[in-house]
Chains A and B, each alone.
Chain A
């Protein structure tokens, strides 16, 4: 099948489309969707204002000697208190544990078919972009889609 394999690209020359049109396979489409959903989990989309400060200039006072490291209430405290969510979840080792647990409590997929919306304007959509699988509602939205998002950020 021309759409099989990971990241494989099939080049189509069509009469109405003077140039070449890539068609992304299912795996790539799924990766794009996963990336979009992960982006929705972010707390911020900009950098930390503190981290973008310029480094101190030559007049900044540098320590002349290495300060003796003050032992806070156990530095191991801090390491343990800074693990991220994925690490903590793995450490719970839930596959070994009895249900019900965090993983088994996840809501199952819906029995209803998904509703489809134009990825440009958000209104109900009846058509699919042949290249990337994005939905659109009209030729105007398709044009906008092709000019902006269609093959952007393709993995």
Chain B
């Protein structure tokens, strides 16, 4: 009996502490997080809370900036950048866009914006992943970064007039040269890594790793750098710990945010004009439309040709045929299921491939080794990827050849002698 009473007496104090502790965890895991007191002030829309929250949102929305770089942006620039980023992501409330650019107001609205970002995705974890301290020698095993490049490039700085095609040839040559250099440098780096890994075998306290990485060896060579690394590591550990804390306690934060939202006056529903935001205009989507159309055209041709050949050929006929046909259709359906899923909206990567950067670990040949990807498997996957891409490239080049031959026309035009050998 007495124990129950005591528990009840303790509860309100616990509840009162839960919110500030949750906010403290949140603010510790985010970069430039303000104090819980600032959050409280923001709920009541106090002006002194606004600058800190603008700064926080700026850091959160532009994580690619290094720690010190955000200081080079003026407060107005930060405010504008935050507004733009939020609108680009589809922030629903107009009030934010109407806040003054000097960053002096808007605590409550900024608080809502932060909560909106937190509700949509694992924000603290994402930020931590992006700015992670890398202790090992890492190599990505997928080509997702390679695929990330297409997109209309920014117009070149010099307003070029017309350009000679020979300039393009020169640029292509320069590109080939750079790739060759890159390959050579990469090979050298791998050789050096191999040496460093084998010279330091047995030195790592973690048996599954066995040897030191470049970063770790470097910290031994340069104690000052090592201390800096250690400090960064400890800071990251603190933020990771805070993120775990936040996960445990965030429910009370969301209850509180409901009250914050309730405290806001409802927005009038007439749509006011909002400044334009950069979006992929339809012009930018044109190349992709053309590409898909081209692909569709090629497929149509191929299908028509083969279907005609099929109809005309002996093919399968008779009662056994329909059963076989159904079986084949199913097989093809299954075969392409992964591809279909990848192409559909929001589908994941079609190949159930490992992704992301992996830490390189050198093992003795023949030793089974612990958990982790094996290099030969990755090499196999890359080889097949390379082969498929080469097929595509040859195909495209073949199309060009045909098209050019058609344009130049049949004889008695000039005779084309193709360069030797392939």
**Pairing of A with B:** no
> Which positions in A face B, CB cutoff 8 Å?
none
